[in-house]
Structure 1
């Protein structure tokens, strides 16, 4: 990135990078649940376990025990619990629903995030940002509108993911001041792995198929389980870094780029070709993000001119 790029703009660029990576993780999770018949709980546990092992290895190599210390250990573990439950909800949803459908429901989250950033973090959120987020949300509804009749209670799971993820991102902004992105991801991974492990124990006891431990019988699913953990690690490190650089309300519209990537993956991997109305929605989503990006860059330039 150019050296003169301001933190807010850097944060937006980093956030867009994360939104390109995370749908790949979701697609791998769907493939493992549908093609390899792995329970969503197993996929979620592998995602957090591998995240924990990868970040622990990197941190240990960087400085040993001293760099593992967190100033907000409890808060970061809670972040992991939130993500653990959110992951269970979403991976279960996409086992039964098209990826773009689940993503469309999930994308009430940026609107929640913008509102929560004003209520909890006391960030200033003007009418232009709120409008950009709302327009982006309308775009997601145009892309696809899942209904209760088609999916029943399963359609509520991405909504639960949205609520949990919004709170998780607010906590990212709060704790990123004191801890590095790697340390935050390490303990979020620990919290997520512990949560999904407990759910699998309960799933075995209650005989809930989607919440049980299921071991792959061939090498290919093992490789994909590692891939999902690696993609999650990189994607969420970028998310944490973005929230270190820019306010939550500025980053919220850029989350809509995730559904753009999800639709493209659905086309390439699952042969779900978008209709003209979906492409219209994609254009609206991209436009809302570009508007916030250009406006923030313009405000930065004006501020520099006054110095």
Structure 2
């Protein structure tokens, strides 16, 4: 690849990643408001059903169809399952846990992806990165504090979110490049819509939406759909080791929104755990980049 082209792709990927984190931060604000008075399944259904048409239209504009045999590929199905698990657990966490705590634990996702890639995809991970992964997950334990006075069982929803989204990201790597971002996004939101409908049917819990709740849901859909597209495009643009570390900007947006909108100020333990998670994640990315550079020179 031409160096100038690679640099341009990396810059584009970084911009998309930071933009997606900002958009998701605003979406989280709307979802947290929505979760104060609406059933979980209803929120998930609306998030998927209203975002889905956007990507269907985008795919059609690119000359692509959504209902094609590629949608049944094992990698796509695995990605959809991860999307469903991650989405349900994440909305549940937002409803019950401070925004900064949710975001801090979520920062462990790149480490989880690295660990899962080593275990399930036989990617080479040296002892230094394994150490970074261990330090990062120690940070997660500090944030959620199992067994201590500050522990909130609801924080475990975030760990389920990390597991689901890790599956989503690993499966995304196996989807052929000929499949467009719009198609992948449409399939994921289609799965989320089906999940929300199933949850509503199972619980029988559907509530009339007030004008305020309608605006909140519309805001969540608008910002979430934009963020969803941006992060999917970011993960398929530029070098992963360059683009992925900018996921951590989400914590900055989450802390700012949590403090300014919800009056949630993280305590010292949350800051310490977040610092360990982010520091170990950045180190892991740096080691991966150095390894790739060394293999290219060798």
Alpha-carbon displacement from aligned partner over 1:88-133 (angstroms, at most 9, x marks no partner) = 2221222122122334444554333211112233322233434444
Judged with a 3 Å threshold, the aligned counterparts in structure 2 of structure 1 residues 44 and 186 are, in CA distance, closer, same or farther, namely: same
In structure 2, distance between residues paired with 1:114 and 1:16: 20
1:31 shift after superposition: 0.9
State the partner residue of 1:270: 262
TM-superposed CA distance for 1:12, in Å, is: 5.8
In the alignment, what sits opposite 2:7? 5
User: Are the structure 2 counterparts of residues 22 and 70 from structure 1 closer, same or farther at C-alpha, using a change threshold of 3 Å?
Assistant: farther
SS at match of 1:177: coil
Gaps of 5+ in 2: none
TM-score between both structures, scaled by the size of structure 1 = 0.77
Kindly report which structure 2 residues correspond to 1:102-121, keeping only aligned pairs within 5 A, or say none: 102-121=102-121
Offset of residue 29 of structure 1? 0.8
Structure 2 counterpart SS, 1:231: helix
Q: Distance in 2 between matches of 1:191 and 1:280?
A: 36
Alignment gaps of 5+ in structure 1: 205-211
The aligned residue for residue 217 of structure 1 is 210
Partner SS, residue 189 of structure 1:
helix
In the TM superposition, what are the counterparts of 1:12-51 in structure 2 within 5 Å?
14-34=16-36, 37-51=37-51
C-alpha separation in 1, matches of 2:278 and 2:195: 35
Distance in 2 between residues matched to 1:16 and 1:132, nearest whole Å = 23
Which residue of the partner structure matches residue 71 of structure 1?
Answer: 70
Do 1:260 and 1:282's aligned partners in 2 also have CA atoms closer than 8 Å? no
Contact 2:141–2:273, Cα closer than 8 Å, also in 1: yes
- Name the CA distance, whole Å, in 1 between partners of 2:55 and 2:229: 10
Contact 1:108–1:159 (CA under 8 A) maintained in structure 2: no
The structural deviation recorded for 1:190 is: 1.0
Which residue matches 1:207? none
Structure 1 residue 263 displacement after superposition: 2.2
Tell me whether 1:233 sits opposite 2:225 in the alignment: yes
* Cα distance between partner residues in 1 of 2:34 and 2:147: 25
Give the whole-Å Cα distance in 2 for the aligned partners of 1:290 and 1:155: 24
Q: Which residue of 2 aligns with 1:99?
A: 99
CA contact (8 A) 1:108 1:137 kept: yes
- For the aligned residue pairs, the C-alpha RMSD in angstroms reads 3.6
Deviates more, 1:6-15 or 1:190-199: 6-15
Closer, same or farther: CA 158–280 of 1 in aligned 2, 3 Å? closer
**How much has 1:73 moved relative to structure 2?**
2.9
How much does 1:45 deviate? 1.0
Query: 1:110, 1:133 within 8 Å by CA — same for their partners in 2?
Result: no
Task: Report the number of matched residues.
Answer: 295
For the structure 1 residues 121 and 45, does the alpha-carbon distance in structure 2 shift closer, same or farther, using more than 3 Å as the test? Answer: same
Q: Is the 8 A contact 2:258 2:265 kept in 1?
A: yes
